[in-house]
Structure 1
């Protein structure tokens, strides 16, 4: 995939995932939030919990899951720690890290608490 096609496919996957969370009564706080440590694809909240979502898209959910690298996870944690500094309870905030997998048909599979800090 070319850079432009990958970029737009990523945007489309993030849009699908944001709609999925909204359909589950989450409020989307940010998309493609960028901090010094890295980028968070989607940040959502519900019932006082902040959810940091890494979005991965591929032909199948399994292939998408294989695309989550240890380096990306470290950067996600670094960016999340920075974002948490803006929350009322700071580093003591209720948070979780999900991975949202989008297959070639646009079907979403969310793995809650997929990543542990």
Structure 2
């Protein structure tokens, strides 16, 4: 029985979450989606207790390194969808905390790119 792409993605997300939790971050939401079509999704929303930063995390897994591997799969369109979803999430909060966009690459190991891109 072969493993599906969804199962591989879920396993990568589980590994990324375990890595971030071990680093001291706390989970706020998982697979946060904006309502309606054409919106965005955020794999993990974490809080960094050191300074209260809300961390929007994109988890990327690629079996191979062709086409730039996992890092190369985070296009401008993908970043805009993540930012859109983050703005939607932030709109529900009473006050805006400091925020950043991180990426966790799951390939041969786990690589955590803090502040990988910005909302600009």
In the alignment, the residues of structure 1 paired with residue 18 and residue 87 of structure 2 have an alpha-carbon distance, to the nearest angstrom, of 25
**Larger-Rg structure:** 2
Report the equivalent of 1:10: 9
Aligned counterparts, 1:50-69, within 5 A: 50-59=54-63, 63-69=69-75
Deviates more, 1:61-70 or 1:8-17: 61-70
Report the equivalent of 2:83: 77
The answer to whether 1:49 aligns with 2:53 is: yes
Report the equivalent of 2:31: 32
How far has the Cα of 1:60 moved from its partner?
A: 5.7
Secondary structure at the aligned position of 1:52 is classed as strand
Consecutive aligned runs of 4 or more in structure 1 exceeding 4 Å deviation: none
- Counterpart of 2:101 (choices 97, 100, 104) is 97
Q: RMSD across aligned C-alpha pairs, in angstroms?
A: 1.8
Structure 2: segments with no counterpart, 5+ residues:
none
Secondary structure at the aligned position of 1:101 is classed as strand
In the alignment, the residues of structure 2 paired with residue 52 and residue 100 of structure 1 have an alpha-carbon distance, to the nearest angstrom, of 11
Higher helix share: 1
In the superposition, the TM-score normalised over structure 1's length comes to 0.86
